[in-house]
Structures are given as structure tokens and as C-alpha cells.
Amino acid sequence: MKFSIRIRLALLIGLVFLFVLVFLLSAGALTLYLRLNEELDHDLKLEKKFVIEMLERDFSDLLILNKEASGDLETNFIEDLDEIVGFKREFVIVYFGSKKSKPVFTNSRPQNILQQFPEGILTQKEGIYNQLLDNRRYRILISKQEWGTLLVGLENRIFFKVIDELGKILVVGIPLTLLLVLIGGWFLARLVMRPVVSAARTAENITLTKLEKRLPEYTGKDEFGVLVTTLNHMIARLEEGVKQIRQFTQDAAHELRTPLTIQRGELELLFEQGKLSKKARAAVQKSLDRAISMSKIVDNLMLLAKSDTGMYPIQMRKFRLDEILQETVEDAKNLSQSKNIEICLEKCPRLEYLGDEQLIRRLLLNLSDNALKNTFKGQIKFYLKIHSDSVEIRISDTGTGIPQEDLPHVFDRFYRGDKSRNTTKSGTGLGLSISRWIINAHNGSINIESKSGKGTTVKITLPLSNSTH
């Protein structure tokens, strides 16, 4: 699935935000964990110092007496420890002598603590460790002394309590924040891409006949501003090049018109002479046909050159469109007498249309001529229908048709698909280009549907404004 640039930018912003958020939360959690452990370690060291001082100061006999003679001292020692840590989530364990000696410990939480210690804890090196006891996390300080081993533990609950509460908040907060970031990122991307969209819409309207248009000026001095300036300069160069080509086409057509006219006249005079042999007359006829064909090409080039530069004078006036179509049908009938083709006008209501009569006549003649050239049997149907806001003209034939791969190119100048046209047919390859220009000049549209070997249907739609029927 392909997403637009705006959506991709919004997703990228959301992804970056999520990455930064996870990084900050992880860094914050790690910092909090280390700071809280530092405070716990500091408290453990203070507790260790206090217990050792109390033991060496008030219960030094425990360090030298044997266990049978020190029962009362042990009891007093445990009672004193209970007064200090008995109501806290803390414990103190003292091992006198070797690791196999009986421990002296407080009755503080958690209960049955000795059974929960892992084996060999007394053999571990002096230091601070994390340990899970009674499903609670503890920091335990192990201190080695000459008289034995001291264990002091504090419950490490603040950090994990904060993490639990924060987790409950983040379960709702992160998706909601991410959604807000995505929405904000989409609006931000839309704002950033607004000049791009505006430029793209303008670029869609820049065609060979509208090269005078430019992309909207961009006041920013960023990369997009450089791109807009570069594209406008490129369009200006293209406009200048196209103008030169159009001017050359117009000048060439104008220069060719006079000698072709003279040549055509001389050939016609030569053809009318009765002294020519049959072979010479056939050669003159062939040359005359070529001269006439060249004259049509030059006239068409002149028309297209003027249309491209907007110099062709379109004369809009009201005329009977139905009469023009009827005359076209009559001309087609006269030209098809040598063929086994049925020419019929299915529907042609009276219509007074506002447009250029000569151009519309030329349009219908071009399309009729194409149908005649590509149809050898069957029929050609002409049809005119009036809609509420438009008029529809349809020309259908049962001719050779146009292959699907040629349909996108039929309006290109001088395009003649080998599969859709027989090489014996005459034509300049400019008729449909001129037809499309005439239709565009009247704000209409043309659509061609065709299948190779099954015929072609040309549908013309012209706006019906200012027309009466």
C-alpha cells in the first residue's frame, strides 16, 4: 500500500516521537533506579554501622562468650534490634563465629526469612545484592567481620511502586499522546506540503498551449524555493523553444504553400492537354494527387500552428448544426457510391448552435472521412441528440477498427498505427489532431471506442449554452 507524502511524514514524526519517548522513559527509569539504589545503599551502610557499633559497645560479651553462656545477652540484643527495625520492612541477621554457627536475627518482616535465603549466601563476597524474598524485592548488604557475618536488608519498593503507577498511566497516556502527535504531524505535514500541492495543481494546467503559465512564486529560501525557481526557468526555456518550433512550422508552411499552388496549377494545365499519352497522363495524375495531398498537409500545418499560438480567428455565431450534419451525410453518401456501404442518419433534431461554423463543418468532414477510409463493407451511422446542457454527435462504423495499443495515440500529430490503418489509405495523420483542437476550442470533449476488426464509434459532446432548438 502506497501512502501520500503527508501521511508518511506524519508516521515518521510519530515514529521519531515514540523512539524519543521510549528513550527518555528508559533513561529516566534507569536514573531513578540508580538514585534510589544509592539512597538504599546509603541507608544500609548506616544501619550496618549502627548495628556494629551497638554490638561492639553494648554487647561485646557476645563476641567472646560461648553460646551457652550468652543466652540473656542474645535476647537483649534481639529486643534492642526489634525496637529499631521491628516495624519496618527491614531485617538484620547476625552470624557469630563460623558460617555453621547458629544465627541471631530479628523477628522483623518478612517471616521465616532464613528459609527463603538461597543456599551459600554466607559464602558470597562482601557487598550489596538484590534478592527476592516473600515476593518482595530487597537490597541486602553483606558485611564480613572478625567475629562473624552481618546481613542487613531493606525492601526496595519505592522504585517498583513508581514504575507500577507510571505503567498504569503510560498504558493510556502513550497511545493518546501518540494519536495527538500523529494528528499534529499530519497537520504539520499538510502545512509543509501546501506549496507543493499548489505547485502540482498549477503544473497540471501547463500544457504545450499554455506554457506562459508559471508555478506560484515561493518566498522561502529553502530547497523548495530553489526547485520552484529552477522549474520556472525550465518552463520559460521550453516556452521559448516551442515558440521557435511553432514559428518555424508556420513559416515553412507559408513558404511551401505558394510553390505547391503553382505546381498544382501547372499539373492541372498539363493534365488537360489532349496530346499526352496514356502513360504520361497517368504519371501527371499521380503527381497531381501528390501535390493536392501536400497542399492539404500544408494547410493543416498552418491551421495547427495558428491554433497553438492562439492566432487562429475563431468566429462564433449561430448556425444550424443539424443542417451541417445532414450535408456531411450527403457528402459521405456520394463518396461511398463505389463501396458496399450503407450511410444513414439515425437521428437529427433541429438545433441552432453557437460556434464556428467552418470549424464544425471541418470537424464533421474529418471524422466522416476517417470512417469512409476505414470501412469497406457494412454501414456508417450518424446520430445527433440534444441533452439538457449539451449536444451529442456520434459517428459509428463497422470498419477495420483501431487496436487498443493505438487508441492512446490517435490524436498525436502524424501518428498512423500500422495495425489500425492499411498502408494503401491516404491521409496526413493530422485530421484527428485538428478535430480535437476544434472540439477543445468549443469547450467540448471527444471519446473514441474501438476494437480491431469490429469498427469504431466516435462520440462528441459540445456544450449547449446559447444554443436553441
| DSSP one-letter string for 173-239 | HHHHHHHHHHHHHHHHHHHHHHHHHHHHHHHHT--TT-TT--PPP----SHHHHHHHHHHHHHHHHH
Q: Tell me which of 309, 328, 353 is where a domain ends.
A: 309
Domain assignment of residue 382, given as a range: 317-463
Number of residues in the chain: 469
CA 397 to chain centre: 42
Which pLDDT score, from 0 to 100, does residue 99 have? 45
Q: How many CB atoms lie within 10 A of CB 280?
A: 13
CATH of the domain at 280: 1.10.287.130
Q: Tell me which of 309, 328, 357 is where a domain ends.
A: 309
Q: Are residues 71 and 142 in the same domain?
A: yes
Which pLDDT score, from 0 to 100, does residue 423 have? 41
Is position 180 within any domain? no
Is position 325 within any domain? yes
Q: Are residues 158 and 10 in the same domain?
A: yes
Q: Are residues 139 and 45 in the same domain?
A: yes
**172, exposed or middle or buried, with CB in 10 Å at 0-12, 13-18, 19+?**
exposed
Which pLDDT score, from 0 to 100, does residue 243 have? 74
Q: Are residues 10 and 151 in the same domain?
A: yes
Q: Are residues 302 and 324 in the same domain?
A: no
**194, exposed or middle or buried, with CB in 10 Å at 0-12, 13-18, 19+?**
exposed
Judge contact between 178 and 14, C-beta under 8 A.
Answer: yes
Judge contact between 297 and 430, C-beta under 8 A.
Answer: yes
Q: How far is CA 75 from CA 55, 82, 107, 277, in A?
A: 13, 11, 12, 151
CATH of the domain at 51: 3.30.450
Q: What is the mean pLDDT of each run of 10 residues along the chain (469 residues)?
A: 76 87 86 86 88 83 60 75 70 70 54 70 84 82 85 82 80 85 84 79 75 77 80 84 72 72 79 76 80 74 69 84 92 84 89 90 89 89 91 92 84 64 54 85 90 89 73
Q: Are residues 257 and 342 in the same domain?
A: no
Grid coordinates of 264 = 498544382
Is position 295 within any domain? yes
Q: Are residues 357 and 394 in the same domain?
A: yes
Q: Are residues 429 and 341 in the same domain?
A: yes
Q: Tell me 107's DSSP state.
A: -
The C-alpha atoms of residue 131 and residue 30 are separated, in whole angstroms, by: 18
Q: Are residues 11 and 158 in the same domain?
A: yes
**74, exposed or middle or buried, with CB in 10 Å at 0-12, 13-18, 19+?**
middle
The C-alpha atoms of residue 49 and residue 60 are separated, in whole angstroms, by: 15
Query: What is the domain count for the chain?
Result: 3
Q: Tell me which of 112, 137, 162 is where a domain ends.
A: 162
Judge contact between 216 and 199, C-beta under 8 A.
Answer: yes
Which pLDDT score, from 0 to 100, does residue 424 have? 43
Among the residues of 384-466, which ranges form H helices? 431-441
Is position 83 within any domain? yes
Q: How many CB atoms lie within 10 A of CB 244?
A: 10
Which pLDDT score, from 0 to 100, does residue 254 have? 67
- What interhelical angle do 5-58 and 71-85 show, nearest 10? 150
pLDDT, tens digit (0-9, with 9 covering 90-100), for 335-361: 888 788 889 998 889 999 999 898 898
Q: Are residues 293 and 340 in the same domain?
A: no
Q: Are residues 445 and 342 in the same domain?
A: yes
**Residues sharing a CB contact under 8 Å with residue 103, sequence separation 6 or more, in sequence order:** 93, 94, 95, 114
Q: What is the β-pairing status of strands 148-155 and 90-96? A: antiparallel
Is position 127 within any domain? yes
Is position 288 within any domain? yes
Provide φ and ψ at 377, rounded to 5°: -155, 160
Q: Are residues 415 and 286 in the same domain?
A: no
Is position 243 within any domain? yes
**Residues sharing a CB contact under 8 Å with residue 362, sequence separation 6 or more, in sequence order:** 434, 438
The C-alpha atoms of residue 453 and residue 263 are separated, in whole angstroms, by: 39
CATH of the domain at 404: 3.30.565.10
Q: How far is CA 381 from CA 58, 143, 332, in A?
A: 124, 110, 11
Concatenating the DSSP letter of every residue in 193-204 gives HHHHHHHHHHHH
| 87, amino acid identity | F
Partnered with residue 345 across adjacent β-strands are 382
Which pLDDT score, from 0 to 100, does residue 69 have? 47
Straight-line distance from the first to the last Cα atom of the chain, in angstroms, rounded to the nearest whole number? 52
Q: Tell me 104's DSSP state.
A: E
Q: Tell me 432's DSSP state.
A: H
Is position 206 within any domain? no
